[in-house]
Structure 1
Amino acid sequence: MDRLAALLDQFHLAASVFNAGPLCYSSQHPPQEGTGFLHILTRGTLDLSLADGPPRRFTAPVLILLTAGDAHRLGPGPEGAETLCGSFRFGAGNICPIHRALPSLLVTPLERLSGMDGLLGLMLAEMREERCGRQATLDRLCELLVIQLLRYLMDAGEVESGLLAGMAHPKLAKALIALHDRPEADWTLNGLARKAGMSRARFASLFRDTLGQPPAEYLAHYRLGLAKSLLRAGVPLDTIAGRVGYSSPSALAKAFRRHTGCSPREWQRADARAGVE
């Protein structure tokens, strides 16, 4: 039972490392909606300033995850800092259920991420040696790090609510995996409850309490997020409608406008303009 397979297949993950080695000066990161950041302190001290709240100083190796899309500043402390910093993005940006499931801020000492020792070791080796293909290797390893972090958040129980908490629940996960695998299916509350092996009332209550929204609302958002990802990939609207569970392009367009305030074509044009700017 692979809890991430369908999500990662349907929402393309791309990551890029932009600092690998000594952090020589403070860097300002402007707001980027739908983009997450990973900052790993490997040596020295690191100062982090967020849009709200006082600056924080880290003096031991740590992984910092930021997904809120707010501006932040990163700088070396008095002892200097060696860092590995990257950004990542899923298809459809912040409407992607994986992105929305991640905590807005997570600070985890590297010593707690024992299951990632091998991957982090590879990344540090690439960071400290100037070898051919270094940037491409670091970018791919950063993608793997995001996936490993998703596993960690589910398995360690670090997230108490939202999709990752649902995927960590042995019964809810069965219904979520089925929904993610077949978004085009005519899912009903009864059908999802049967997948979870629960009564209709118990399933609806547990789903809402864990994920923060009713099953029907989650399904609608999931389908629209997938539709946006497919629009971004240039898939025709009539093909998208069938793949995400709508009887026709007009039915998809109606749902799209109800949830986003614009038609699929209007969203596609605005998204293309935003990508150029």
Structure 2
Amino acid sequence: MDRLAALLANFHLAASVFHAGALCHDTRHPAEAGTGYVHILSRGTAYLALADGPARRFDAPLLVLLTAADAHRFGPDPQGAETLCGSFRFGAGTSGPIYRALPSLLVIPLDRLTGMSGLLEMMLAEMREERCGRQAALDRLSELLIIRLLRYLMDSGEVDSGLLAGMAHPKLAKALIAMHDRPATNWSLTTLATEAGMSRARFASVFHGTIGQPPAEYLTHYRLSLAKTMLWDGVPLDAIAGRVGYGSPSALAKMFRRHTGLSPLQWRRHAGGRDGPALA
């Protein structure tokens, strides 16, 4: 039972490292919807400031995960710091289920990431050695880092609500995986509860309490997020409708307009590509 397979296949992850090594001055990162950041402090002391808020000081090796659409600054103390910093995006931007499930700010000491120690050591070794292919290696490793962080968040109890909490639930995960794997299925509360091995009432209550929305609402948002990624990829609307569980392009367009205020084609033109603004 692979909890991430369909999500990662449908909402493609792209990650890259933009700083690796000694950090001698603060870096400023503007607000950018749909873009997340990871800052790893491996040596020295650094600080993090969100927008105009007070700075937080860090004196021990740690990892900072940020998905809040706020500008932030990350910098060293006067003695400097060694850091590895990167950014990442998932297909469908802020409307994608993985990105929406991530905490807006998470600070994790590196000694708590014991299951990722080998990967972190490999990344730091690449950072410290100026060898051919260094940037490409760091970019690929940063994608693996995000995937491993998703596993960590599902298994560690760091998040207690939302999709990642649902995927950590032994019964809800079965229904979520079924929806993710087979979005075109005519799912009902009864069939989803059967997938989870729960009664209808119990399933509806636990799902809403954990995920934060009813099963039907989650399924609708998931299907529309899939439709957006396909629109970006240039898939014709009539082909998208059947693949995301709608009987006709007009049925999909009606639901699309209800949730975005635009028709699918208007939305695609307005979004202007993967980094466009219309990611609601």
Q: TM-score, with normalisation over the residues of structure 2? A: 0.97
How much has 1:220 moved relative to structure 2? 0.4
For residue 153 of structure 1, give the secondary structure of its aligned residue in structure 2.
helix
Task: Write the deviation string for residues 64-83 of structure 1: whole angstroms up to 9, x where unpaired.
Answer: 00001211011111221110
Write the letter of the residue equivalent to 2:70: D
Q: What is the match of residue 10 of structure 2?
A: 10
1:257 matched residue in structure 2: 257
1:131 counterpart residue number = 131
* Aligned-partner residue type, residue 48 of structure 1: L
Q: Larger deviation: 96-105 or 232-241?
A: 232-241
1:15-72 residue CA offsets vs partner (Å, 9 max, x unmatched) = 0100000112111100010111000000011111102531101010010000012110
The equivalent residue for 2:246 is 246
**Match in the other structure for 2:166:** 166
Quick check: 1:118 aligned with 2:118? yes
Deviation at 1:251, TM superposition (A): 0.7
Are the equivalent residues in 1 in contact too, given 2:91–2:274 (CA < 8 A)?
Answer: no
- Residue 45 of structure 2 aligns with an amino acid whose one-letter code is T
Aligned to 1:141: 141
What is the distance in 2 between the residues matched to 1:131 and 1:125? 10
Aligned length: 277
1:230 aligns with: 230
Measured at CA, do residues 108 and 254 of structure 1 come closer, stay the same or move farther in structure 2, by a change above 3 Å?
Answer: same
Aligned to 2:193: 193
Identity %: 73
**Aligned 1:209-224 pairs, distance under 5 A:** 209-224=209-224
Alignment of 1:57-76 (within 5 A): 57-76=57-76
For 2:3, what is the secondary structure of its paired residue? coil
Q: Which deviations, in whole Å up to 9, do the C-alpha atoms of 1:125-178 show, x marking residues without a partner? A: 110111111111111100000000000011111100000000000000000000
Contact 2:93 2:274 in 1 (8 A): no
Q: Distance in 2 between matches of 1:160 and 1:276?
A: 31
Question: Could you tell me which residue of structure 2 aligns to residue 29 of structure 1?
Answer: 29
Equivalent residue, structure 1, for 2:205: 205
For 1:104, the equivalent position in structure 2 comes to 104
| Aligned mates of 1:243, 1:216 — CA distance in 2 | 17
**CA spacing shift, 1:18–1:260, aligned 2, 3 Å:** same
177-186 or 262-271: bigger deviation: 262-271
Q: What amino acid maps onto 1:179 in structure 2? A: M
Q: What's 1:153 paired with?
A: 153
Q: Does 1:85 align with 2:85?
A: yes
What corresponds to 1:54 in structure 2? 54
Query: What amino acid does structure 1 have at the position aligned with 2:248?
Result: S
Q: CA deviation at 1:221?
A: 0.3
Moved more, 228-237 or 46-55: 46-55
**Normalised TM-score (structure 1):** 0.98
Unaligned runs of 5+ in 1: none
State the secondary structure of the residue aligned to 1:140. helix
Q: CA deviation at 1:276?
A: 7.5
Unaligned segments of structure 2, at least 5 residues: none
Cα RMSD of the aligned pairs, angstroms, is 1.2
**Aligned partners of 2:270 and 2:276 also within 8 Å:** no
- Are the structure 2 counterparts of residues 268 and 276 from structure 1 closer, same or farther at C-alpha, using a change threshold of 3 Å? closer
- The letter of the residue matching 1:238 is D
Residues 41 and 228 (structure 1 numbering): CA distance in 2 closer, same or farther, change over 3 Å?
A: same
CA distance in 2, matches of 1:275, 1:181: 26
- Offset at residue 275 of structure 1 (A): 3.9
Q: Is the 8 A contact 2:232 2:274 kept in 1?
A: no
Q: d(CA) in 1 for partners of 2:95 and 2:187?
A: 21
User: Which runs of at least 4 in structure 1 moved beyond 2 Å after TM superposition?
Assistant: 273-277
In 1, Cα distance between equivalents of 2:90 and 2:201: 33
